[in-house]
Amino acid sequence: VHAALAGYVAAARRHAPQDRRLSGAPTAMVLNGAYLVETAGVGGFAALVRELADRHPEIRLELTGPWPPYSFVAEGPAEPVQTVREPAW
């Protein structure tokens, strides 16, 4: 499922599955994916999710969003701390 979805989008990330106590789902989460979809491709992506759900009735696929693209921001090296002092006049 992840490979099919990732092949359709600009970027994809797999996150750790959420605990059922957080998600409220009755079953364990096996995939927690984030997919960066171009605006023009949203309808096709949703159709692909429905197709995959039909192809794999043993799993529940849930599509949510849109979400801010924070999942795709790379963490850079920390910048040094700068101490700013007021003039002592």
Per-residue pLDDT at 79: 66
pTM: 0.75
Strand ranges in 1-89 using DSSP code E only, listed in sequence order: 11-15, 32-36
d(CA 22, CA 78): 31
Residue with tokens 């429905």: 50
Planar angle of CA 47, 73, 60, nearest 5 degrees: 30
Give pLDDT tens digits for 27-86.
Answer: 888 899 999 999 999 999 999 999 999 999 999 999 998 888 888 887 766 666 565 565
- Could you state, in order of their start, the residue ranges of all structural domains in the chain? 2-72
